[in-house]
Structure 1
């Protein structure tokens, strides 16, 4: 039987290390037992510190049933929802009381290969009616960023080498093994706080119920990758070159470590000259990293690690005996924010360009002027409505939201203007109808006048025709006769014919032949 299983803790009291966290977990479990729902727990810390063991012991002592799922095996949205979602919503069929849901290695979910896995876990823990404990090894993993917001995070620390050494001694005594105390001390330090690894190695080096230094040397030292924050702490706290060299065996990216050091050097170092030397070492490390990437010659990496490791550690004259809360690099968050602002700028300028018929590139230069306009709430609301901007897009121009009262006021004004406009429109329609009616009346009067005039003209024409007919019907007796003269008168006298006036001549038609007295 493996000693890891044989000497596993049987109760919460037997668990080594993290005493405060153990008390918090017990208090959380008791609240659930009393019927008070609690947010899920997220246990984070390196392997071998007792996260899984403690979760199972809590389930055994306080809950009726324990269901464990490894999130790195059950990855996709549908699988996680089917395997865990139903269990977190329903009571146990065979036992009374709550059942504990354990989801291990939630930081092993990949965003690309396990699409929807994190979303499924977030939905489960938000709607869970049963206690849920989640576990992760890397507290800074991006895969658990959203999960951390919906759970109570408990950060486990490595077990101290003294506690490990005491546990190894107890095991040797129970197994009746003759051991070398110095060998156990070395094994405890090499285990780097991993109790499970220390017990496994102890069982492997036992030979004839003896443990010696030679047996330990046969087993190669475990190549444990340092957490990048542990590496950061060692560089800033230690001046021992060997310790710094061992700490540089980290799983973090070199560029990320450089950013962490640049962020936390002023928090640890107090002397200005030390800070200047440390940043000079950071600069040289960055130069060598750039050469490695540019030339594809990765021998430059060792120089980069020397500068950022031993160089920064040696920049301080003495180690500082103080507690410093190290912080994550703000460079990436600023870059992310900058990218978000660039995308926001692009969306806003495109909307504005369609309204103003101006290129988005030119509008970017005018953003500061629009920011001044957006300071006034009412103007900001009008511009927002005109350009069809969202609340997030308005943040490009002003940090605070436009008060809701401004929108309500504008709506009332618009409604009032709309009513006035409708009233004016109705008045114009009424006037237009009156004008059309008046025009019809005038037109009818004109038509009547024209008809009367036509009738009068027709009467006049009829009268003229009657006059002409009357003239044509005159009696021939009314025509004067001409007496025939005697021959003597003709011979002796010359007849004088009176000429008519010129006007009468013009009125009469010319005769075709001139008539004289001789024609008679």
Structure 2
């Protein structure tokens, strides 16, 4: 596989102009509001605060607008510069100096400002307000949730521009373009499933499209069916964040009571995301110690049917993991547990195998067991070998496209 195949499609196929972005968002007015603010900004005027759910194009619009309108973009994740001294050093100079590379000057962009937490960040918010008032260049901020009380001072010195979740048909339209560029023939029902499960998040939709379609010539409904199983765990991201932000054992322990996750699934989510949240080796070692203890007690509970141990399992995986924290909570993008993804894919493959076995058993008057052990191995060989005979066999067995793909891949 070439190196180019590893390029994320969300990056490879992202809009490159303001016009392309407007084509995707349709009749939404937030693009025009931002461009109007940027073109008309003068020293002493308010900053802009772009807010809305992840994946709706806040960061993208700032990057594209800066390039198209001729600004030198200075971009910083606010949660990475949380002290007054860091902000003044990194942002202060940029907000007062002229650009050597652009006639329009600089555009300062502070992303994820709602990722600020703790006592240090109180001073950071105050510093950002001062920088906005002193700045000789436009300053843009972005947040998923701008209504946190600690951000009130920032709301008062900024115009609020809300980004809405993208409509399903807008996402489908963009996914069709990507499929066309990648040479993929996609079932519109499959694209609709991806778009609906994305819940207005274009980046998520494109990532799912790449995960299900890359390397294929056709995309069917069966190819995306495992996404539904994954999406049922969507609330896990909030559960993880609530555990990691907890400062008291009771708060962390109570999170699981309002969670859609069972304790075993939560353990998988924690195991996958601890290295993302805890970057300090001491924090990570302590967190994994408590998660390992939870796993030990879970095993004892299952083997001996000793359900009184469940409270210890929950204590270790919630309060124990939360109290391993040394440094203030930092906003982190979590990932889906690979084990659950593999299990969902394996379940999908088993379902396809059962469907093929049923077809073969019916036509050949065999049991499903014999069809599986005596006929399927030969069909694998036939379908991976070039030739026309497999077309006749497929027609006779009445196989659909997903069943043919299964036989080709498993050969």
Q: Please state which band the TM-score falls in when normalised by the shorter chain.
A: 0.5 to 0.7
How far, CA to CA, are the matches of 1:211 and 1:99 in structure 2? 44
Question: For residues 251 and 74 of structure 1, do their structure 2 counterparts lie closer, same or farther at Cα, with a shift above 3 Å needed?
Answer: closer
How far, CA to CA, are the matches of 1:171 and 1:191 in structure 2? 16
How far, CA to CA, are the matches of 1:301 and 1:174 in structure 2? 43
1:6 aligns with 2:23: no
Q: Superposed, which structure 2 residues align to 1:28-107 within 5 Å? A: 28-32=37-41, 38-107=45-114
Q: CA deviation at 1:37?
A: 5.6
Question: For residues 302 and 39 of structure 1, do their structure 2 counterparts lie closer, same or farther at Cα, with a shift above 3 Å needed?
Answer: closer
Is contact 2:166–2:201 with CA below 8 Å preserved after alignment?
A: yes
Is contact 1:106–1:134 with CA below 8 Å preserved after alignment?
A: yes
Q: With structure 2 as the length reference, what TM-score do the two structures score?
A: 0.53
Tell me which residue corresponds to 1:216.
224
Structure 1 stretches of at least 4 aligned residues deviating more than 3 Å after TM superposition? 35-38, 222-228, 249-253, 296-303
How far, CA to CA, are the matches of 2:203 and 2:216 in structure 1? 22
Is contact 2:122–2:150 with CA below 8 Å preserved after alignment?
A: no
Q: Deviations over 1:246-294 (max 9, x none)?
A: xxx99899xxxxxxxxxxxxxxxxxxxxxxxxxxxxxxxxxxxxxxx89
How far, CA to CA, are the matches of 2:60 and 2:106 in structure 1? 17
Q: With structure 1 as the length reference, what TM-score do the two structures score?
A: 0.43
Q: Secondary structure at the match of 2:98?
A: coil
Q: CA deviation at 1:173?
A: 1.7
Instruction: Point out which structure has higher relative CO (alpha carbons under 8 A, 6+ apart).
Output: 2
How far, CA to CA, are the matches of 1:102 and 1:149 in structure 2? 18
Tell me which residue corresponds to 2:408.
none
Q: Specify the structure having the higher radius of gyration (Cα).
A: 1
Is contact 2:51–2:142 with CA below 8 Å preserved after alignment?
A: yes
Q: Secondary structure at the match of 2:55?
A: coil
Question: For residues 205 and 40 of structure 1, do their structure 2 counterparts lie closer, same or farther at Cα, with a shift above 3 Å needed?
Answer: same
Is contact 1:191–1:197 with CA below 8 Å preserved after alignment?
A: yes
Q: Among residues 169, 175, 182, which one is paired with 2:182 in the alignment?
A: 175
Is contact 1:190–1:221 with CA below 8 Å preserved after alignment?
A: no
Tell me which residue corresponds to 2:318.
none
Tell me which residue corresponds to 1:200.
207
Tell me which residue corresponds to 2:150.
143
Q: Superposed, which structure 2 residues align to 1:2-401 within 5 Å? A: 2-15=8-21, 16-17=24-25, 19-32=28-41, 38-206=45-213, 207-219=215-227, 220-222=229-231, 223-225=233-235
Is contact 2:43–2:138 with CA below 8 Å preserved after alignment?
A: no
Q: CA deviation at 1:63?
A: 3.5
Instruction: For structure 1, list consecutive stretches of 5 or more residues without a partner in the other structure.
Output: 229-248, 254-292, 304-520
Range moving further from structure 2, 209-218 or 66-75: 209-218
How far, CA to CA, are the matches of 2:12 and 2:158 in structure 1? 33
